[in-house]
Amino acid sequence: MEERLQKILARAGFASRRGAEQLMLEGRVTRNGEAVRELGTKADLERDEVRVDGVRVKAPRAAVYLVLNKPRGVVTTRSDPERRQTVMDLVPAVAGLFPVGRLDVTTEGLILLTNDGVFAERVAHPRYEVPRVYLAKVHGVPDERALERLRRGVKVDADFMAVDRARVVEADNNAWVEVSLHEGKQHEVRRLLEAVGHPVSKLRRVAIGPVTSRGLEPGQFRALTPEEIDGLRRGKAAAAGPMRRLANRRHRSRAKNRGRGASAADAATRRRRSRPTEAAREAPARVGSQADSRRRAHGSARGGPRAAGPRRGGRR
């Protein structure tokens, strides 16, 4: 489609419209090899070669934001030299799409994929404190001292690591522990829990900021909603509501346990059955699967629902 050059340049991120006019007036913009100084000049990027200081102007891609529930055994990479199944095999083939951060091959759970580099950097950077929530099945049952060590921080090898929240959500001989953190060091959750004496046998990421795994079976993906995209961009601020509610609930339950003694409080914690996090209660709308993804055009990952209900106790 033919459009004024200053509009094309602004949309492609070269300058504001005013700035683009200035670039044109300075003779730094060419169309098919000719400098264009006239401000009303139009071009069509499908047909014309437009350059600024010799740099080719490309049509901006529609931004795509997906969340995939990665199954265990799938590798978080764009291509695997060992030809194992990758996260890219489970989502539509969209130009420039890449996973944001990574999950270990043996970890299941949420991974974001986008072709928007600025968004990815923002979500991945610890400064914005986008909380990641994990459920870990661990050997033994961590007591309050071990959980407090996780919260205060542990030095493992050369890295100092800490969780923002930690609690036992289900316990028998072994336990399921929910931890929330916002950093993203390699094997962080496994290393942390091992360091406090509770090695992880299963690990699942169940939330990233406002995005939860509810309704997404392993292998399924969906497009993020505009609210989720906005929430992820805002980082910690977006999670303040649910985090505050959780903190209040913990405070109330601590107050109730006060006077019963530490062991009674620990036992109460252990008896508590698995509960989804506050954030995990928000249901996503529609999901897609690997089979759907092959059929789907880019950017329209929402689609035909596949049976996708929340999981029950044993498989957590």
Least distance from ligand URA to the Cβ atom of residue 134, Å: 6
Binding map of ligand URA across residues 170-189, x = CB under 6 A, - = no contact: -----------------xxx
Helix segments in the chain, DSSP class H: 5-11, 17-25, 117-124, 144-152, 188-195, 226-234, 236-257, 262-271, 290-295
Single residue of 107, 220, 277, 289 touching ligand URA by CB under 6 A:
107
Least distance from ligand URA to the Cβ atom of residue 105, Å: 8
CA distance 200 to 206: 16
The whole-angstrom distance between residue 272's C-alpha and the CA centroid of its chain comes to: 28
CA distance 50 to 304: 40
103 vs 224 by CB, closer to ligand URA: 103
Tell me the catalytic residues. 104
Least distance from ligand URA to the Cβ atom of residue 66, Å: 18
Residue 177: closest CA among 189, 195, 161, 162: 189
Contact 140, 198 (CB under 8 A): yes
Contact 270, 141 (CB under 8 A): yes
3-state secondary structure 66-123: EEEEECCCCECCCCCCCCCCEHHHHCCCCCCCEEECCCCCCCEEEEEEECCHHHHHHH
29 vs 74 by CB, closer to ligand URA: 74
Least distance from ligand URA to the Cβ atom of residue 137, Å: 13
Q: What are phi and psi of 19, to 5 degrees?
A: -60, -35
Residue 168: closest CA among 178, 153, 157: 178
14 vs 134 by CB, closer to ligand URA: 134
270 three-state secondary structure: helix
11 vs 202 by CB, closer to ligand URA: 202
143 vs 194 by CB, closer to ligand URA: 194
Single residue of 203, 207, 208, 224 touching ligand URA by CB under 6 A:
203
Conformational region of residue 312, where left means phi above 0, alpha means psi within -120 to 50, and beta covers everything else: beta
Residue 43: closest CA among 61, 57, 23: 57
Contacts (CB under 6 A) with ligand URA, residues 120-159: none
Least distance from ligand URA to the Cβ atom of residue 163, Å: 11
Contacts (CB under 6 A) with ligand URA, residues 86-105: 103-104
Least distance from ligand URA to the Cβ atom of residue 78, Å: 17
9 vs 203 by CB, closer to ligand URA: 203
151 vs 254 by CB, closer to ligand URA: 151
Q: Using the structure block, give the residue that is written with the tokens 């400064």.
A: 127
Least distance from ligand URA to the Cβ atom of residue 196, Å: 14
70 binds ligand URA (CB under 6 A): no
Kindly list the residues in this chain that would bind ligand URA in the complex (CB under 6 A).
Answer: 103-104, 107, 187-190, 203
